[in-house]
């Protein structure tokens, strides 16, 4: 019966293949969106785990290089009641003005992309297990040696030499062309936080914090400050992390760090919010699936109705040879399933191609994470089976109800 139905499904090859392709494109869309949603979920869950308990502190209303926290802010926060005892560790950064690396901006991927030079205290960063301990190539910078480490994300897209031994030339003063060279000595594994690459972003490169302070002193005559301090708290949930965020912000508002005012925030809160928003994509995928079933079902209904209408005589003969109504109905359903399952196979094939293209480094989504698991594949086949049955239902009933005597009399 199955082989018989498969052969019959392709009696009009052109129409059958068009119907299958219609189904294929719909299912491909469901498959690709599901795979990327699953990938993003895993990524955001990873980010959530990675950033659990981490609280970033910056100067209130300032970001990046403009945030200037006195270096004693760490001690002050440690000394705040109800906070210090729960801190497991900290790290500090001082970000250089974007002016230093502005000449590289047009050699990155998008307008708005920038190289962000930041200084780290190597020993503190090592204890924090930060970027200097996360190298996949070369070694960490040595203080006083004008060395830098760059991220894999910059290495992958930079349109200028970024191999170990290459030079990053900093422009301290564009007017008198004061320049300082930094030698690339290592590459750290950058973290993909799920930001699409068409969104402007900063590519962080790190050097010794004293180097940044020295350069800032030369250019702006500023004293040593941090632009960002990160604390890791001993917590089990993001809720607890947020309690510490609130405590720091309250202490700041109470003037505990006066004359400095700080803003604290937890990265995990951001990831948690994004992850919650992914449920919207889940709903979207489900709606897409239903639309696909309806649209694909319609394509199959039309194809099968055309087929059934031209084969009424045949069904009459089959009945005359002893076929029951249910046999004819099942035959039509199997034909519809053949078309929809072929559509699923083609859709999955095209979907894999799309995922390969969209998750590649050169894609506009920049290595967007996609996870193809067994469940996603099963989901596509469930959709295909559903629309096969739905699409074959009416034509099947119509074919099964044929009255041989009426059809053959008209002959």
Residues that bind other proteins (CB under 8 A): 1, 4, 7-8, 11, 313-314, 317-325, 327, 330-331, 404-405, 408-409, 411
Nearest approach, Cβ of 392 to other proteins (angstroms)?
A: 16
CA distance 157 to 162: 10
Nearest approach, Cβ of 16 to other proteins (angstroms)?
A: 12
Q: Which is nearer to other proteins, 221 or 409 (CB)?
A: 409
Alpha-helical regions (H) of 254-373: 267-310, 312-320, 325-358
> What would the two tokens of residue 343 be?
């559509």
CB 265 within 8 A of CB 245: yes
Q: Which is nearer to other proteins, 50 or 401 (CB)?
A: 401
Nearest approach, Cβ of 400 to other proteins (angstroms)?
A: 10
Nearest approach, Cβ of 397 to other proteins (angstroms)?
A: 14
The CB-side HSE value for 331 (13 A sphere, CA atoms) comes to: 21
* Beta pairing partners, 391: none
Q: Which is nearer to other proteins, 8 or 43 (CB)?
A: 8
Q: Which is nearer to other proteins, 33 or 330 (CB)?
A: 330
Contacts of 291 (CB under 8 A, 6+ apart): 26
Q: Using only C-alpha atoms, what is the Rg of the chain?
A: 31
CA-closest candidate to residue 210, choices 147, 154, 162, 168 = 147
> What would the two tokens of residue 228 be?
């960002």
Q: Which is nearer to other proteins, 259 or 322 (CB)?
A: 322
Nearest approach, Cβ of 406 to other proteins (angstroms)?
A: 9
CB 60 within 8 A of CB 263: yes
Q: Which is nearer to other proteins, 68 or 311 (CB)?
A: 311
Nearest approach, Cβ of 45 to other proteins (angstroms)?
A: 50
CA distance 387 to 121: 60
């Amino acid at each position: 019966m199955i082989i018989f139905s498969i052969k019959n499904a392709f009696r009009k090859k052109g129409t059958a293949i068009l119907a299958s392709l219609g189904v294929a494109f719909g299912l491909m869309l469901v498959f690709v969106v599901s795979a990327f949603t699953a990938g993003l979920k895993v990524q955001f869950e990873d980010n959530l785990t990675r950033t659990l308990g981490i609280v970033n502190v910056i100067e209130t209303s300032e970001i990046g290089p403009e945030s200037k926290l006195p270096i004693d802010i760490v001690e002050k926060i440690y000394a705040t009641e109800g906070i210090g005892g729960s801190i497991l560790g900290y790290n500090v950064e001082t970000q250089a003005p974007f002016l230093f690396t502005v000449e590289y901006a047009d050699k990155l991927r998008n307008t708005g992309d920038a190289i962000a030079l930041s200084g780290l205290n190597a020993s503190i960063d090592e204890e924090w297990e930060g970027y200097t301990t996360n190298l996949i190539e070369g070694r960490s910078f040595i203080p006083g040696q004008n060395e830098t480490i760059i991220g894999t994300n910059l290495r992958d897209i930079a349109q200028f030499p970024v191999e170990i031994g290459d030079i990053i030339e900093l422009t301290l003063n564009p007017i008198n062309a004061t320049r300082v060279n930094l030698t690339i000595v290592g590459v750290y594994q950058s973290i993909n936080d799920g930001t699409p690459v068409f969104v402007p972003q900063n590519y962080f490169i790190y050097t010794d914090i004293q180097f940044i302070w020295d350069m800032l002193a030369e250019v702006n005559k500023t004293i040593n400050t941090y632009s960002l301090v990160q604390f890791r708290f001993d917590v089990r949930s993001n809720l607890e992390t947020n309690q510490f965020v609130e405590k720091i912000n309250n202490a700041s508002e109470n003037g505990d760090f006066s004359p400095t005012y700080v803003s604290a925030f937890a990265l995990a809160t951001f990831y948690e919010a994004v992850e919650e928003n992914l449920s919207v994509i889940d709903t979207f995928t489900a709606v897409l699936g239903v639309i696909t079933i309806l649209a694909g079902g319609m394509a199959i209904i039309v194809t099968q109705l055309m087929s059934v209408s031209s084969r009424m005589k045949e069904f009459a003969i089959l009945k005359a040879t002893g076929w029951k109504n249910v046999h004819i109905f099942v035959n039509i359903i199997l034909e519809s399933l053949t078309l929809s399952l072929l559509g699923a196979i083609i859709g999955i094939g095209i979907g894999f191609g799309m995922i390969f293209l969209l998750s590649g480094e050169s894609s506009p989504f920049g290595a967007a994470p996609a996870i193809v698991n067994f469940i996603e594949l099963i989901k596509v086949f469930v959709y295909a089976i559903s629309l096969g049955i739905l699409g074959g239902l009416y034509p099947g009933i119509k074919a099964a109800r044929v009255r041989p005597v009426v059809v053959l009399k008209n002959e």
